[in-house]
Structure 1
Amino acid sequence: MRTARGLARVALLAAVGAVVVLLLALGGGGLLALFSGLAGLAAAAVGLWWFVAHRGAVRVLGAVLLVGAPVGVLVLYVVAGLWLFALMSLGLWGGALACARAALRKPEEVGDAPAPAVPATRPRRAVLIMNPKSGGGKVERFGLVAKAEKLGARVVLLDPSAPVDVEELARRAVADGADLLGVAGGDGTQALVAAVAAEHDLPFLVISAGTRNHFAMDLGLDRNDPAACLDALTDGEEMRVDLGTVSGRPFVNTVSFGVYADVVRRPEYRDAKAETALDALPDLLQGGQGDRLDATADSTRLAGQQAVLVSNNPYATPDPFSAGAGRRVRLDSGRLGVIGIRVDGAAQAAELAVRGTQSTALNVLTAHRVEIHGGVTNTGVRKAERAVSVAVDGEALVLPAPVVCEVRPRALRVLVPRVRPGVIPPPPPLDWRRIIRLAFPDLHGSGSSNRPRTPTGVAHE
């Protein structure tokens, strides 16, 4: 606690120093440095919005603004002799943020910790399904088949040239007496087999042989060495995690609705992701006038959203530039994470860039049940219910509306190696009021100053 208090005080001192540097530069344009930086950030956001939401001359203008705004600010700093003040202020502010996050990470936050893994018995009839194409051929590259068979598992190798019902393969393995199911493949395949394992209350083994391996990462597995995951067969621990469902279909990571799902559906997306997205986004966004989605998260209504992301447990932060982006602190909270995005034009895109997660364009909350409706115009007039484009763990689907997402708390038994990298704890949310309480506890009383606060989401219509 003494270390945390010292870091909090250094963070406050550095933050004050950043402001003092700008104030000392008032004669040389300190306020100009501050406001021109914010204006440049907002202008770049407007340029990005024009670039992705329009075509033709507007897109070209957006590209010019996206690149030219930051360059213009830098030129202004150099010409006006402000670059040194800006650099010093930026350095102090960066130090303040680093110390603040380190201070908040020091106190123990037991309330948000996942349940510990427990020792597991060694499976006798493990069946592992492996996709040789997954992750660019990781099954062969890491010798997964040979190691699994050496450890006593039976391997079912998928035929890349023929469509295979993976769920049926898993059910057949259970009928033949399997006491563990596992998958070396992508998250979509993992989810299908995991649902069968959960149905029969069998342990499930995740082998990080996919491309991104988000589920494996949040389980604390080694994504760089899939073969290490097989150590769980002889020296493993078991943990209980949640399993998400979307209209009855299982998912382990995320379900995306709206713009991203529409882009993923396009057949050319697999081979040319960036080009396909740039070609499709103007039609989907139409400068902020495209069709929207209505969502209901428990009792909270999210109206007119352009994109909705539902995750199996909430992510640490919705900020894509944060060090905790793309990570879930735990997988057994019994809640879905919900992120809704509604950008009505260039002005709101600029606000999103400046205010980040506090922007009115972003809704962040948690729920036990999420219902998605499609066919809503930008004016809020509901069209006839229709099918909704959905990306389930990265796989493009079309599901009849309304689409319902739910979570099955602690439904899945996951077998993991006893020795593993573990989950990297994401940085805590930056709360300056909490930093002040931590730095000067005598001013605010004691007892509750170091307890973590549960983040809440604010929704708007």
Structure 2
Amino acid sequence: MSQASVAAATAPPTTRRWWARAAMALAVAAIVLPVAAAGVLRLVGLVLICGACVVVIVAAMYWFLVSRGVLRVVSAALAVLPVVVLVVFLVRERQLWVVIVAALLAAAAVGCGRRALRPSRADSLMPEHPARDVHRPFVIMNPRSGGGKVVRFDLQRKAEDLGVEVTLLSGPEEIDVARLARDAVARGADLLGVAGGDGTQALVAGVAAEAGVPFLVISAGTRNHFALDLGLDRQDPSRCLDALRDGVEFRVDLCHINGRPFVNNASFGIYAEVVQSPEYRDDKTRTVLRMLPDLLGRGARSGLRAVIGDEGVDDPQAILVSNGPYATNDVAGLGRRTRIDEGRLGVVTVSVPDTRQAVGLLRRTHDRGLVQRTTTEVTVDADAETIPVGVDGESLRLTTPVRCTITPGALRVRVPRHRPETRVAPPQLDWLQLWYLAWNPHRAS
């Protein structure tokens, strides 16, 4: 049964039916309005002009990324010019209001449709499990992470008031946090935690999974992607300590790349090459723009070969392997995962060696240009003995072939019962399912 079908069976049917009907009505209005206001022939011309502008913009943006000097400046101007031309044309034809209103109607139709198909929280969120009492919790804190959040939020004192043994990291970044965690388990620690970045979180999470003890995430890093996917408070990391007072557990998946654990993702190709640059941390934008022409330009080859399950992808320019697939069906969902307990790696590969393939990505017509899959194992190989890889924000060089695997439910994560960033995943918009839900609910369920 599809996610939409499950939702249809679990949510109040009358309310869902009216949301579906509203979506269908708004969609029809978004189509009828331009036809009524402009006429069929005029509308066809308008659609063709809009499509041509989009193609020019995408092509110009591609050339902006792969060029330098004067050509980059010209490409930037060409990316803006179609927008100006289109607005002037619509104003002269007195059709700008039609486009704006139709766009608003279409957006409202999508919103109502997703509201109708939205799954229940129980179907969308990871199940909670009772948390056992812990007596000797151990937490590693990085006072430099996140611009000094450990000190700013007084995390050490607050944790120690709850009976936590705290170790503050000091010295070089490459300190062996995994060894610190193993030593703590050997001394009798029955919970391991980290207040720091996702890379440190992953290393200690691997030890917690090996030892079978719960893992505590404290959102004291810079981006806190793992904390976001767990629904934790990223504004006030001290609230993560509520898991020790009133907590529950998730059983989440843990990934490994050549034996090293990761909780978020591993990236190969363009991003991994860029973050290897010493200048990247000081000036990210300038470094990216300086390096992209060599990494993306015509004739540039990544030399990578990805095997996704039984499927091979040759020479992709970028590969992202994630612990669970990232949401891609709405802008708000990009960059986060609602479920990381389904035993699946998310895989995305991108290859845009020329303008034609860059434009083709608009329609996803070129299988080699954009590949999106889920699997349980990914292998990335290359002619070189080692390749750069970005793992949970850390820049590494790993020996080829690089193998990514996932172990379902390997990690017990202790989280507060109340989590402010918990979010129900938006459903894929299925217009056929909406039609059944609106007019034939028995078939929809």
Which of 140, 148, 151 does residue 151 from structure 2 map onto? 140
Q: 1:433: which partner in 2?
A: 432
8 Å contact 1:33–1:82 — kept in the other structure? Answer: no
> 1:195 & 1:205 partners in 2: Cα distance?
12
Which of 35, 44, 48 does residue 35 from structure 1 map onto? 48
The percent identity for this pair of structures is 48
The one-letter code sitting in structure 1 at the alignment partner of 2:129 is V
> 1:218 & 1:358 partners in 2: Cα distance?
31
Which of 332, 345, 357 does residue 336 from structure 1 map onto? 345
Structure 1 residue 74: deviation in Å?
1.2
SS class of match (1:29): helix
1:351 aligns with 2:364: no
Please, which moves more after superposition, 149-158 or 421-430? Answer: 421-430
For the structure 1 residues 227 and 288, does the alpha-carbon distance in structure 2 shift closer, same or farther, using more than 3 Å as the test? farther
> 1:6 & 1:166 partners in 2: Cα distance?
54
1:14 aligns with 2:26: yes
> 1:93 & 1:36 partners in 2: Cα distance?
19
Q: 2:7: which partner in 1?
A: none
Q: 2:325: which partner in 1?
A: 314
Structure 1 residue 112: deviation in Å?
5.4
Please, which moves more after superposition, 281-290 or 244-253? Answer: 281-290
8 Å contact 2:124–2:425 — kept in the other structure? Answer: no
Matches within 5 A, 1:253-402: 253-287=264-298, 289-317=300-328, 322-352=331-361, 354-355=362-363, 361-374=369-382, 384-402=383-401
SS class of match (1:355): coil
Structure 1 residue 126: deviation in Å?
0.8
Structure 1 residue 111: deviation in Å?
5.7
Structure 1 residue 135: deviation in Å?
0.7
Q: TM-score, normalised by structure 2?
A: 0.92
Please, which moves more after superposition, 50-59 or 399-408? Answer: 50-59
The one-letter code sitting in structure 2 at the alignment partner of 1:71 is V
Structure 1 residue 292: deviation in Å?
4.2
Q: 2:101: which partner in 1?
A: 88
> 1:80 & 1:239 partners in 2: Cα distance?
57
Q: 2:9: which partner in 1?
A: none
Q: Which consecutive residues of structure 1, in runs of 5 or more, have no partner in the other structure?
A: 375-383, 451-461
Structure 1 residue 359: deviation in Å?
7.3
For the structure 1 residues 219 and 12, does the alpha-carbon distance in structure 2 shift closer, same or farther, using more than 3 Å as the test? same
> 1:65 & 1:370 partners in 2: Cα distance?
39
Q: 1:248: which partner in 2?
A: 259
> 1:193 & 1:347 partners in 2: Cα distance?
45
SS class of match (2:342): coil
Number of residue pairs matched by the alignment:
432
SS class of match (1:268): coil
Q: 1:381: which partner in 2?
A: none
8 Å contact 1:128–1:156 — kept in the other structure? Answer: yes
Q: TM-score, normalised by structure 1?
A: 0.89
> 2:265 & 2:154 partners in 1: Cα distance?
29
8 Å contact 1:264–1:396 — kept in the other structure? Answer: yes
1:129 aligns with 2:128: no
Structure 1 residue 23: deviation in Å?
1.2
